[in-house]
């Protein structure tokens, strides 16, 4: 996270306002669907009066160096304030990065927190799958 304590305080306040258990349940379901079927659609309602509509899918790309195809994901935040961006399937996403990549307003800290919490949880659940 940012070294700016104002940002850290804002993120902590937002996290306390969210239903993190709901985010974990949605993430577990998404991870399972990605693992079994290669695609997941989740309507996430973490208690902030917004329904975040996520679509996650495996994307196989041809690698220019011809070593091997890269396996990534495409994450779409399908709300009017969202957009699509690639994701490597790893955790460690910070809210400012999530806001810059998956929202139309890179300064939208709240949505950045929700996206980061969700994708980090999906990554953690995917690591536990066989």
User: What are the tens digits of pLDDT across the range 8-36?
Assistant: 899 999 999 999 999 999 999 999 999 99
Residue range 75-94, pLDDT digits in tens: 999 999 999 999 999 999 99
pLDDT at 62: 66
Mean pLDDT of 113-119: 98
Tell me the pLDDT band of 71, cut-offs 50, 70 and 90: low
Rama region for 118: left / alpha / beta (φ>0; ψ in -120 to 50; rest):
alpha
β-bridge partners, 39: 57
**Total structural domains within the chain:** 1
What stretches of the chain show up as alpha helix (H) in DSSP?
5-17, 20-37, 95-102, 109-128
pTM: 0.88
pLDDT at 60: 76
- Higher model confidence: residue 67 or residue 91? 91
Q: Quote the domain boundaries for residue 87.
A: 5-128
pLDDT at 25: 98
């Amino acid at each position: 996270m940012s070294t700016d304590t104002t940002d850290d305080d804002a993120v902590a306040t937002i996290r306390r306002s969210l239903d993190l258990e709901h985010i974990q349940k949605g993430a577990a379901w998404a991870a399972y669907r990605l693992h079994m079927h290669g695609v997941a659609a989740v309507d996430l309602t973490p208690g902030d009066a917004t329904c975040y509509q996520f679509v996650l899918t495996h994307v196989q790309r041809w690698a220019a160096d011809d070593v091997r195809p890269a396996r990534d994901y495409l994450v779409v935040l399908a709300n009017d304030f969202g957009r699509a961006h690639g994701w490597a399937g790893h955790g460690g996403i910070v809210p400012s990065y999530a806001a810059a990549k998956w929202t139309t307003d890179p300064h939208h800290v709240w949505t950045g927190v929700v996206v980061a919490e969700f994708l980090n949880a999906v990554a953690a659940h995917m690591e536990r799958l066989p």
